Amino acid sequence: MMGGAAQGSRFTTLLAVEVPAPLILYALLGCLDLVFSKIAFSLGVNEGNPAMNVALELGLFEVSKALLTILVVAVGLVLWHLAYVRRIMLVTNIGMSALVLFHIYGVSLHI
């Protein structure tokens, strides 16, 4: 009985990973980028990223966006203790914010 409780405790500890706010923000911005990209595609806009354009043509756009976002967050979790990774995430979040604002502006032109 005691062993089961200890295993449950370790499992709970495993699930209680503290995710730094910049990584959560990156994931949210990635989701917004996906949503606004889909809206832009429905308005006839072409994908500007050549690699993601190939994924779009193969019908793998959503899967690619999700996997890339998960990969960035996972690597960020592992390497968060490194100061330069925290700086990279700051710059990345600024860039992703600009991209989402660009999407919002672009979609507003089509409404």
Half-sphere exposure of 75 (CA within 13 A, CB side): 10
Residue 62 CB contacts under 8 Å (≥ 6 apart), including other chains: 34
Residues of the chain above pLDDT 90, percent: 69
Output the pTM of the full model.
0.80
44-79 pLDDT tens trace: 888 889 999 999 999 999 999 999 999 999 999 999
Half-sphere exposure of 8 (CA within 13 A, CB side): 5
Amino acid at 27: A
